[in-house]
Structures are given as structure tokens and as C-alpha cells.
Structure 1
Amino acid sequence: MADHAAMENLLRCWLRETDIAHRDGELLTLDLSGTRIEATIAHWSASGWHRFDEVRIDDRPGDAATLAALIAREGALLRGVPPYAGSELVMRALDSVRRVADHVAHRRTHPDAPADTTPFLDGEQALILGHPLHPTPKSRESLTDTECSAFSPELRGSFPLHWFAVEADLVSSDSALERSAEAIVAEFADRDAPDGTVLVPAHPWQARDLAGRPDFAELLTAGRIRDLGPSGAPWYPTSSLRTVYRPEVSVMLKLSLALRITNSRRENLRKELHRGVEVHRLLEAGIGESWQAAHPGFDIVRDPAWIALDGPIGLDAMLRANPFGPNDDIWCVAGLVSPQPGPSRLRRLVEKLAETTGGSLADVAAVWFARYLQAVIDPVLWLYRTYGIALEAHQQNTLVVLDSEGWPAGGRYRDNQGYYFAASRISELEKLLPDVGVASDTTVPDDVAEERLGYYLGINNLLGLVGAFGSQGLIAERPLLELARQFVEDRDAPILREPVLRSKANLLTRLHGMDELVGPVSTQSVYVHLANPLWTRDR
């Protein structure tokens, strides 16, 4: 399953990012520097979530290692970069295959979550295969197998936090709450801070990595930072690995983790820490009240406080609200649609609803999708239309709230990185919060904000959901695309305005070795054009 899933990902990426394959009926063919690739098409998707049966390379059974090497070499030639530039892509693709194989094997022998797992955590642990349009979705090449067992949500891992006591003058923090970040941390720490110091938690892998950095080691040697080691009750990794959760604690922690996960090293930048608190203050200044009046079922999971070591980057914690009770049926959308060893949670939901309502799978899928548009997509479009704030609402950043029967009833957005303030609207936001967007570096040209909204909400989230329904045989994609087209047309959403869309190219971004958190927002990834399946000539 893991090797075949990796080949499907590589083919989907290549199709989206180059558009040079040849399709003849149910056979897809590619010529990669004289090597012939043939893939039998099981499902052809207007939204890009194609499915393939047998894959053959020069008339022999294909494998992910060979396909990754061929695509990396051909991609390097097309992009004018040295052939060896693809070596990292190949290594990470194979590491991802190995990790997915471990995940699948674990789920086959342990199919049921522990009895005390909350629905929220169950959803965070369900993204077994990863992003269907990424060449290395589960690469974790710096982790040992033992570390993966503890740190991976797919393996239902858990671990205690690692603690440092830092001299108070080396620490900065901010909180938009009545309590300071230091006071919030003290509530779940299992120890008191030594006199003159502040407790700062870290991911255990990050703690080990920091100890090997000269600037951090110098502070340890000087006694300005004391390594207190791991302690306390276990925390659970969520789908991002570095955001950790304990059901009984009022906050989650978004920790720095210098692993390259998908396209970036996941260490918190100071501007991102500022951004989370800034957005909370904007919401409290009036945006939240008007948004809730228009869309009471939707909200942002707030990031109202942070604490960080000054100087060397990498020791910090974003304090994220934990609003989810043990009975709240709320799921990460990426985990909901992710294929499992067995049917996805989405398929099981639709099948159950079809059984209880007496409707067909296609009829139920169409109603579920329509309710999702109202509960999740509409509030994000409203926020941009009303305030010029675009959210990076891809499927992993988006949570869907399900009612007691399993229908979408609301949604949540979470990610202190993924906000874009349209420059033309910044004066309106400054009336609510002076100097908004300055420390957080969140203001971007309008076209960048709309491009990001179009990709993350439109292509990844909305069209990705259409692709999930279609590729899992629940309903043909065309009726869902028509529902989506009418929906966004009624709201004059940016995704509908052009016949082509700008889409992030994950394979080419990896081929170029780019880090999405480094450099100007407009140049952090490779983007390509693809036909907009929602666009019609009669607009």
C-alpha cells in the first residue's frame, strides 16, 4: 500500500506541475528521458486526485524508488537545475514510503484507538498517507524508529515535555489574556522555576538538537540556561507533529521542531508568534463578534500567548487554546478524507448516513458537501470579503464540526502562520488595532492574498474534498463541481474569476530545495498554472 500510494502521489504531482503526460483512454503514458511509464487509470479527477491501478516502467512492474529517480532527473532537466539536485527529493520520497509502511502496518494490527482517545485527537491521528499531492508527505528522515514511535500521531505516540529553566532576562513573552504566558505554563508544569528563571517547554527531539548548536550550548555552559530534562504527564502529537495536546489542559503547545516536514523546517519565527497574538486581539476588537453573528458555527482556534528564548532561535512555545471537550465530534479535514487500511472516515460517515436516511451514497455525498460549503467554506470567504483577511485554510489547518448524525455543523481554523492581510484593507484593520501587521509581517499585496486564498481554500481544501469524494467512489465529481461553482459565484469569490488558477507545486518546490518559511511570502514556493474546473465561459 505504501509503495503504490507513493507512486500515485508522484504521478499526481507530475501531472499537475508539468501537464506533459499523454492520456489514451484508461492508460496514462509518460516518456522520461527515453523511459516509458504506463499507469492504468482507475479514476480520472477534474480536481487532480487521480487514482491508478498498475504502474509499469519499461513494461516491468513499477516501484516508487525508480519512479522518484526518473521524475527527479526529468524535473531537473526541465527546470534547468543540475541532475543531482533531485537526490534529496528521491531520498525523502523513499523515507516517506518507509514511514507510511510503518503507519499502515501499525493500523492493521491496532485498528482501534484507545478508549480514552477524544474525537479531536482521533482525527489528528488519522492522516495515515499524508497530502495526496506531495512527493514526500511523511518524510521524517532525522527521526529514529524509536523516536517515530513516540513522536508520530499516526502511531498514536506520546511523550513528556523537555524543560529548560532560562534566566528571566533572556526570555520574551506576550499574552492577550489576563494571565501571562509564564503563568499559563506554570499551570501544567510539574515543577517550580528556580529563582530568577523562567520555565520554557520544548519538544524532546528539539531539546537534543538545541544542545548541539554552539550559541545555545554556550548559554548552557554559562549556566544561563539549565537543562531540567523530560518530566510530567505525556502529551500527544497532532497532525503537524510539533503541536502537542493533552485533553485536560486548557492550551495546546505549538513547539519549534527543526525537522524538515513536507516543505519546511518547522521552527517558530518571532513574527509568527506575534501574528497569533495579533489575530486574537483583532478578533477581540470586534471582528470576532461580527463574524460570529454572521457564522456562529465557525471560529479560529486562538493563539493568544507565547514565550520564547531571545537570541538563538528554536526554544519557544506558542500557547494555543484547547476548546475541545471529550464529546466534541470535530475532525481535521485532511484526516477525515485520508485513505486508511480500510475505508476513510469520510466514506464511513457517508455510508452510515445513507443507511439511516435511506438515500443513495451519491445523494448523501452531495448534501454533505453542500452543508460543508455553508459551514466551513462560506465563513472563510466572508472574512476575506468583509475584512481583507485571507486564511491559509488548507485541509490540515481546517477542522469540521460534525453534529450528532455526522453532518457538517461548523468549522474551525488553526495556524498562527497562515494569515494574509490585504494591503488595500490595512487602514480598516488599523482602526481596530494600531500598527497591525508590522511586527507580524502579515500585510501582503492584494493579488498575493487572493492567490493564497485561491490555492489553500480553493484548490487544496474545496477541490481536494471534491477529489476525495470522487476518488473514493462516493459520487461523480461533476455534480460537486457544479455545486461549488454556483456557491462561489453567488459570493463572487476570487477562485472563480480566471480560467486558470495558480497552484503550489510541491514536487518542484522540493526539487529546488525551497523552504516555505524563508524569504518573501511571494517567493517561498514554486507555483504553476492549472485549468480552473469551476470557471465557465459565460461569466
Structure 2
Amino acid sequence: MHRPPTAEAEIADELAVVRPGLVPRYAGELPGARAAVLTRLWRGLAHEPLPWVARREEGREGLTLWLADGRRLHGPHADPYATAAYVTAVRLDEAGYDDPARLMTDLAVPHSAVFAAELGHGVASLALSRAGQRVRPARWPARDREWEWEQRVVDGHPFHPNCRSRPGFSVADQLAYGPEHGPVVGLGLVPVPESECLLTGVWPGWLREPGRVLVPVHPWQAAQVLKRTGERELAAHPLMALRTLALPDGPHVKTALSARLTSSVRDISLGSVAASAALSEFGEAVAARTDGLLHVTRTLGAVAAGSPDLAAVLRESPGEYAGPGERVVPVGALATTGLPRSPDWLSGFARLALTVGLRLLELGVALEAHGQNLLVVLSPEGAPVRLVYRDLADLRVGPARLARHGVRLPAQLPARMVTDDVRALRRKLFGSLVAGALAGTAGSGAALRAALESAVPHLPPTPDLAALLGEPLPAKALTLMRLSPRTAGDQWAELPNPLMYDGR
């Protein structure tokens, strides 16, 4: 029977045309990319509430999943906090699998075909990212340009099976726009009559013409969605989020990019543009209650030209909050500095992050503090001294808690952000900060447990801390969400509490 070409073969064919000298390196990276994606997938299969997994059994030789149809899926013990690619193969009954896309295809559960295609594309894209990344830098970039920290993150999300899935992006697109490849991207400036724009904040004069607003547009969006180009271009450096870029001596520009990256299609909603100024002021106000331990990057201006597909946000650079000799590093890039290998450093970082996160949660603000939104200010010696938070669009805010602390809730906040559900507030913070940023930095259950054990005695006792210590740890069920396309919103898994986890 004829089988269609795999994503790995398709990317190899494109690469042979676009950059033939990279083909051998790409081929050499494929086995490691399969293991990296399979490890993330195995985490989801082992720990998420998948309806077709009847039960799970731990044994001396690993973990066995008994499927509802009687089949058995066997693999190694699944550390939900591990970032190393330790799963090289699993067995479905008697058949072995080292390819996550082939495994998902043969599992043949509802909606698995689409997910399998994403996994196959993600493996190939990850191999391309590893093959085409710039030469690995020394511990500190020579000139310490802020985007260089972001571009060190080659493998993407530490726990999502679609960590490098970029459907709709050709090989040429990935090489031209992927931050790990270190490109300079030309943002098109699309002129729109000001009367047709929703504007909030202060849109700068250098992005205006008489009667018109110049909207920065990602070139992929211009070509694939808008079918138009700008009259001029801005040179910019893509950051970890890919659709957000740093101008050489200016703010960061968040662009609309209607492609599915990891899990979501990334546009900029009209509601988020309308709320951006009020949300920025609110973020600054609550950050001021952390005694200088947290700064929030201000939204300078936002525009939408009648559609989420043609919109942009200008945001202050996190580097504005670095003092002399200090560096501001995204948490997702910390592993490239070598610092997390020190247990004392990791404990200090955990203490800082939990102090800030729990203090804001007590006020009624739950941060989406994953490794992309959360940055740490490092002293000249590399010690974590302060935090910076960017992109407020995914906060959750509790009016009752805010009222108890005399904090006013802005009327302009979108309804999806506002809840007094304590479980929802805790899930937002603990799932992103502990199961996300801290776990991804620690790299294993054992290292995370040690960091938390050291940090917890220094934290004020609150009901939220008690919940963190005594309950399973919430984390987004990333695999379940990709297999549940008709279910809106986040779905959740309950991971073993790191403080009770033996790290096998």
C-alpha cells in the first residue's frame, strides 16, 4: 500500500532546495527530535485524564497504561517534571514505537489523526530548529542584546508535545522567521485610515502619517492572510513567542499571526486592544504592592484595524528594568545560562518567584507566569533579584479578593479574565509558575522538590500556600486539549505534588 510522504521527508525535500548544506545536520537531528517529542507525549499519556485510558500501573520496569479497548501501552516511569528527552521508545502491545506521530496514528483514538500530523510536523520542525540554530553562545552573550536570550530557546515549550509544531510554515518561513535561526525580520507597515482603527494608549508619531495609522504586520501574516504588504518595513528581531519582535532600540511589537503555534491560533482580539491601556495601568498598580520584587512591562499603545488579523501592540522592553550590570532573562532561557544547575541558585529563584506569585494571588491576581511571560533580573554575579512580567492578556482576576485589599477592578477587563473561583485562580498561577516555569527550570521532579523544600519555609502561611503544599499540582492537560477540539478553554491534569514525589 502506498503511504503518503512523512513530514520528515517533506521538510527534507524542501530543505534540499532552500538550504541543501543543512540536509545532513537535519537528518542527524531527527532521532533526538523524535525522542524529545515522544517524551513530552508520554508525559501527557501518563498523567492526563484521557477518557480512553482505563487504568495505569506502575511496576519495577516502568509504567503500563491499560486502554479501554484492552490494549496495553508500556513505557518508562514518567517524571512529569523532566525536561530531558529520556523516552526513546514505548510499546503498544508487542509493537515498539520511537516515532510519536506513528504511535498516535496507531492508537487510533478520537481526533488522533490530526494530532498525529501535528506531532509529525513538530518532530521535523524541531530537527530543523536544532540543525539550523546559530552556534551555541557562551554563558553570557558578548553584547548582551536582549533578543539573544530569547533566541537561545531552540526546543520551544518544555512540556507540550507540539513544542515546535508550526503548521502553515514552510522551511523557508521557519528559517526566515524562527527566533532560533537568528533572522532579522522586516515588519511591514500597513497604512490604515485612523477613522477605521480602534486605538488605545499612545500610538507614537513615528507610526503615523497624516490621517493614517501605520500598523506593523508580520510578513507571514501579510502574505498568507492579508494578501497585502506594507509600504515600508521595520527591521526587528523575533523573540521566543515568534510573533513578538524587538526593535533594535525601541519597544517590543506584538503582531497578529493567524497560524496555529503549539496549541492556539495567535491573533489579537478587539477586546484585548480595547482593554490594553486599563489592564496595563492595573498591572502596574498591583506590581507596586510587591515591594519592588516585580515590574510589569507597560503597554504603550495598541491598534486594531477592524479585525484581529490586522492588529498590533507596542510593549515596553523588559530591559528597561535592568540596573547597571544586571541582565533580564526570560525564565524559559535560564537553562542556557547554566545557573539552574546550582541547587542554591534554584532555591533562591523558587523563593523569589513564589513570594511574588503568592502575594499577588492573595491580592486577587493570578499570573500566567510561564517561562515566556516571566523574566528574572540577574545581578552582575548572576543572582536572581527581581522579576519582570509581560503580556497581561491571560491574567485571572478575583474581584472579591481585590475588594478585601482595597484594589479597584477596572471596568474594561474582558469577562473571561474575571472570576472569584478560588480553584481557577490557583490553577492559573500554580499551573503556569510551579508546573511550568519552576519545573521547566529545575528539569526534574527531584530538583523541583528540593527547590520547593528550601523555599517554602520562607513563605508566609496562607490558604493558597496550604493548597500548594497539600494538593495535587494542577497543570494544563496539553495532550487532552489537542485531542478535544470541540471543548473550549483550558482542560486540566492533576500531577503528583512535587513535595511528595519521589522523582523516579
TM-score interval, normalised by the smaller of the two chains: 0.7 to 0.9
Match among 358, 376, 394 for residue 381 of structure 1: 358
Cα separation, partners in 2 of 1:256 and 1:228, compared to 1, 3 Å: closer
SS in 2 for 1:164: strand
Q: Distance in 2 between matches of 1:210 and 1:428?
A: 46
Q: Distance in 2 between matches of 1:496 and 1:366?
A: 21
Match among 291, 308, 315 for residue 320 of structure 1: 315
Q: What is the aligned-residue identity percentage? A: 25
Match among 39, 49, 60 for residue 25 of structure 1: 60
User: 1:490 Cα deviation (Å)?
Assistant: 3.5
User: 1:240 Cα deviation (Å)?
Assistant: 0.9
Match among 344, 367, 375 for residue 344 of structure 2: 367
Q: Where do 1:498-517 residues align within 5 Å?
A: 498-513=470-485
Structure 1's unaligned 5+ residue stretches are 77-82, 213-226, 338-344, 351-360, 516-522
Match in the other structure for 2:11: none
Name whichever of 88-97 and 53-62 sits farther off. 53-62
Q: Where do 1:284-303 residues align within 5 Å?
A: 286-291=285-290, 294=291, 296-303=292-299
Cα separation, partners in 2 of 1:54 and 1:392, compared to 1, 3 Å: closer
Q: Determine whether 1:527 maps to 2:492.
A: yes
Indicate conservation of the 8 Å contact 1:151/1:237, yes or no.
Answer: yes
Match in the other structure for 1:411: 387
How many residue pairs are counted as aligned between the two chains? 457
Indicate conservation of the 8 Å contact 1:500/1:529, yes or no.
Answer: yes
Match among 106, 121, 125 for residue 99 of structure 1: 125
Q: Distance in 2 between matches of 1:132 and 1:196?
A: 45
Match in the other structure for 2:244: 243
Q: Determine whether 1:111 maps to 2:136.
A: yes
Deviations 1:313-351 (A, max 9, x none): 3111111001416965222112223xxxxxxx25x335x
Q: What TM-score do the two structures reach when normalised by structure 2?
A: 0.81
Deviations 1:171-200 (A, max 9, x none): 12111xxxx21xx2x33x5xx62x432211
Q: Which amino acid in the other structure matches residue 136 of structure 2?
A: P
Match among 135, 141, 157 for residue 183 of structure 2: 157
Q: Distance in 2 between matches of 1:464 and 1:111?
A: 20
Match in the other structure for 1:67: 103
Cα separation, partners in 2 of 1:390 and 1:514, compared to 1, 3 Å: farther
Q: Distance in 2 between matches of 1:514 and 1:154?
A: 33
User: 1:372 Cα deviation (Å)?
Assistant: 0.5
Q: Distance in 1 between matches of 2:478 and 2:394?
A: 17
Q: Distance in 1 between matches of 2:300 and 2:415?
A: 14
Match in the other structure for 2:116: 90
Indicate conservation of the 8 Å contact 1:46/1:477, yes or no.
Answer: no
User: 1:530 Cα deviation (Å)?
Assistant: 3.1
Q: Distance in 2 between matches of 1:168 and 1:478?
A: 53
Q: Distance in 2 between matches of 1:477 and 1:497?
A: 13
Match in the other structure for 1:267: 267
Q: Which amino acid in the other structure matches residue 110 of structure 1?
A: V
Cα separation, partners in 2 of 1:230 and 1:128, compared to 1, 3 Å: farther
User: 1:274 Cα deviation (Å)?
Assistant: 3.6
Indicate conservation of the 8 Å contact 2:293/2:387, yes or no.
Answer: yes
Q: Distance in 2 between matches of 1:49 and 1:115?
A: 24
User: 1:504 Cα deviation (Å)?
Assistant: 1.3
SS in 1 for 2:387: strand
Indicate conservation of the 8 Å contact 2:102/2:116, yes or no.
Answer: no
Match in the other structure for 1:276: 276
Match among 455, 460, 470 for residue 436 of structure 2: 460
Indicate conservation of the 8 Å contact 1:119/1:329, yes or no.
Answer: no
Structure 2's unaligned 5+ residue stretches are 1-31
Q: Distance in 1 between matches of 2:195 and 2:178?
A: 35
Indicate conservation of the 8 Å contact 1:496/1:534, yes or no.
Answer: no
User: 1:54 Cα deviation (Å)?
Assistant: 3.9
Cα separation, partners in 2 of 1:349 and 1:480, compared to 1, 3 Å: closer
Q: Determine whether 1:211 maps to 2:226.
A: yes
Indicate conservation of the 8 Å contact 1:162/1:201, yes or no.
Answer: yes
Q: Determine whether 1:425 maps to 2:401.
A: yes
Q: Which amino acid in the other structure matches residue 35 of structure 2?
A: H
Match in the other structure for 1:355: none
Indicate conservation of the 8 Å contact 2:36/2:87, yes or no.
Answer: no
Match in the other structure for 1:349: 339
The two structures, once aligned, show a CA RMSD in angstroms of 3.1
Match in the other structure for 1:141: 167
Q: Distance in 2 between matches of 1:201 and 1:459?
A: 34
Deviations 1:420-453 (A, max 9, x none): 110313546886465253x565311232222212
Q: Determine whether 1:483 maps to 2:454.
A: yes
Q: What TM-score do the two structures reach when normalised by structure 1?
A: 0.76
User: 1:9 Cα deviation (Å)?
Assistant: 1.0
User: 1:306 Cα deviation (Å)?
Assistant: 0.7
SS in 1 for 2:89: strand
